[in-house]
């Protein structure tokens, strides 16, 4: 078995699970702040093998899901501007905005291109000098370096027909907003491994230090998640909140300084609107003045009518950890992955989709 | 969205690009935001077309051993010390 596959080895998982089960203590709620963890936890059946005292909660960790309808409406409007080709990651295509998804906009004949990487968006710009390539950029700290790198490359190659519509967000202000609201009790946090690979494990020390909440930075294999959960339970039961990095094969205490340096060079902080939360100050990344030539917001100012939400959709509450997808009357009925009413059912990392696909599955 | 996949570097190319193998599929990715050098044979983690970290194989091995023991792993690390060191 390869070294990396060992992290999926159920024989190795067993003793960790036994340790978790042997722990005695009161009921605890552990939240993961990463959509990738949400899926991994459901896929591996970890939720259902936890002892009764351990409640696993999902937080606002899916960038597709926290994108507001106002931003989705703006993307749709950009795609309809003459001469524009809108490029975006595939995850965004089917997310319903106020009135339509980008897939529906594309079906009407407007140019919406799905790309795997900003590198492909740059290629589109080079191949279509007579068109404006607007990249609709979502994502958290993990994805921001790819956007920053694209802007820097567009500048270096003098690609004047490439611009970025940035709706990128930062996870730490999001996590702080959620904890400050006090709606949901969080005793421990599974820290987002790939976010931490960029900003560093130490960036999550605020949880034990400011909130007294233990955090374990985790990878995405079953073993990683079980070990992180066990570490968190240990810290809770000992009353000794701290930060543990169980993903040290990837995550360094200081993160990837080069990648984050590129982000800081290209972007500055601004307020951003999160589904379920509203405006969170200094939680979004906007292009600096110096890169105005590559900023779709500055280059294509648009007047967008106020956005609307689907009246049945409870995505906002799901993202704040105060409602389970099954609390939504539309779940599995009016709202399915084929006909999603909200982003939490579209995105493969959305809680509603994860519930839909894995909930009934045996472990 | 923050999904990242391990890949083996096959060949370094111009413009900070590299050819990598992602579970049997070859793809050209960018090394532009990778901190440090990568050489053919190295394992890197790829996210949306960019290598974001090298995978530390020794650390992976050590982690597996620690997961198996777990006792010391749960003890809070002394000041300034990596719990995995
Ligand atoms: S099931 Fe559908 S409608 Fe209900 S909260 Fe989830 S995404 Fe929204």
Q: How many CB atoms lie within 10 A of CB A45?
A: 14
Going by C-alpha positions, the residue among A238, A228, A199 that lies closest to residue B2 is A199
On the question of pLDDT at B82 being above 70, the answer is no
Residue A174: helix, strand or coil by DSSP? helix
CB of A62 closer than 6 angstroms to any ligand 1 atom:
no
Instruction: Calculate the alpha carbon distances from B15 to A76, A95, A157 in Å.
Output: 33, 35, 11
Other CB atoms within 10 Å distance of the CB of residue A6: 17
Q: What is the DSSP string of B12-76?
A: EETTTEEEEEETTEEEEEE-TT-SS---TT-EEEEETTEEEEE--HHHHHHHHHHHHH-HHHHSP
CB A102 within 8 A of CB A112: yes
ipTM of model: 0.91
What b/e string do you get for A84-118 counting C-beta neighbours within 10 Å, with b at 16 or more?
Answer: bbbbbbebbbbbbbbeebbebbbeeebbbeebebb
Give chain A's mean pLDDT.
93
Per-residue pLDDT, B74: 46
**Segments making up each domain of chain B, as ranges:** 5-74
Q: Which two tokens stand for residue A150?
A: 């694209």
Report pLDDT for B23: 86
Q: Collapsing DSSP states into helix, strand and coil, what is residue A192? A: strand
B49, A118 in Cβ contact below 8 A? Answer: yes
Please list, in sequence order, all residues whose beta carbon lies within 8 angstroms of the beta carbon of residue A51, skipping any fewer than 6 positions away.
A20, A21, A23
Which of 1.10.8.50, 3.40.50.720, 3.50.50.60, 2.30.30.140 would CATH assign to domain B5-74?
Answer: 2.30.30.140
Instruction: Identify the residue with better confidence: A150 or A36.
Output: A150
Q: What is the pLDDT of residue B81?
A: 42
Instruction: For ligand 1, say whether the CB of A325 is within 6 Å of any of its atoms.
Output: yes
Lowest average pLDDT, out of A127-131, A187-191, B60-64, goes to: B60-64
The whole-number pLDDT of residue A1 equals 58
Domains in chain A and their CATH numbers?
Answer: 67-170+258-299 (3.40.50.11740)
With 50 as the cut, is the pLDDT of residue A359 above it?
A: yes
Instruction: State the pTM of this model.
Output: 0.91
Ligand 1 centroid from CA B82, angstroms: 42
Ligand 1, atom 8: closest residue by C-alpha: A313
Q: Residue B79: its pLDDT value, please? A: 44
Choice from A340, A343, A356 to test ligand 1 binding pocket (greatest atom count within 8 A of CB): A340
The pLDDT of residue A360: 52
Per-residue model confidence as pLDDT tens digits over A176-233: 999 999 999 999 999 999 999 999 999 999 999 999 999 999 999 999 999 999 999 9
pLDDT higher than 60, residue A27: yes
């Amino acid at each position: 078995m390869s070294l990396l596959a060992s992290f999926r080895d159920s024989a190795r998982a067993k003793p960790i699970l036994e340790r978790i089960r042997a722990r005695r203590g009161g009921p605890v709620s552990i939240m993961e702040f990463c959509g990738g963890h949400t899926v991994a936890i459901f896929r591996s059946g970890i939720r259902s093998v936890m002892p009764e005292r351990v409640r696993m909660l999902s937080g606002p960790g899916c960038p597709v899901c926290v994108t507001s309808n106002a931003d989705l409406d703006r993307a749709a409007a950009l795609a309809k501007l003459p001469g524009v080709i809108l490029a975006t990651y595939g995850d965004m295509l089917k997310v319903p905005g106020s009135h339509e998804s980008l897939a529906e906009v594309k079906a009407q004949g407007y140019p919406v291109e799905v790309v795997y990487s900003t590198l492909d968006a740059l290629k589109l710009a080079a191949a279509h000098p007579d068109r404006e390539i607007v990249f609709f950029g979502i994502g958290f700290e993990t994805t921001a370096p790819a956007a920053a790198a694209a802007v820097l490359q567009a500048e270096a190659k003098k690609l004047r027909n490439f611009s970025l519509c940035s709706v990128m967000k930062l996870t730490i202000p999001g996590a702080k907003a959620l904890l400050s609201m006090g709606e949901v009790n969080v005793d421990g946090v599974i820290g987002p491994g790939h976010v931490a690979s960029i900003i560093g494990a130490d960036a999550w020390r605020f949880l034990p230090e400011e909130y007294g909440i233990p955090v374990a930075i985790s990878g995405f294999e079953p073993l990683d998640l079980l070990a992180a959960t066990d570490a968190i339970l240990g810290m809770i039961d000992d009353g000794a909140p701290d930060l543990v990095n169980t993903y040290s094969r990837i995550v360094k205490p200081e993160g990837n300084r080069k990648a984050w340096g590129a982000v800081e060079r290209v972007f500055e902080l601004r307020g951003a609107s999160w589904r379920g939360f509203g405006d969170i100050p200094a939680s979004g990344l906007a292009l600096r003045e110096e890169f105005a030539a590559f900023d779709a917001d500055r280059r294509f100012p648009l007047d967008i009518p106020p956005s609307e939400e689907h009246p049945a959709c409870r995505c906002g509450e799901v993202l704040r950890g105060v409602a389970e997808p099954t609390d939504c009357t539309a779940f599995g009925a009016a709202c399915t992955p084929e006909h999603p009413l909200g982003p939490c059912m579209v995105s493969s990392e959305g809680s509603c989709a994860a519930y839909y696909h894995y909930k009934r599955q045996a472990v | 969205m923050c999904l990242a996949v391990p890949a083996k570097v096959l060949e370094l190319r111009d413009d900070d690009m590299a050819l990598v193998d992602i579970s049997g599929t070859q793809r050209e990715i960018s090394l532009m935001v990778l901190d440090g050098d990568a050489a053919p044979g190295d394992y890197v983690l790829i996210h949306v077309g960019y290598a974001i970290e090298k995978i530390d194989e020794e650390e992976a091995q050590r982690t597996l051993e620690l997961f198996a023991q777990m006792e010391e792993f749960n003890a809070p690390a002394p000041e300034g010390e990596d719990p995995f060191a």
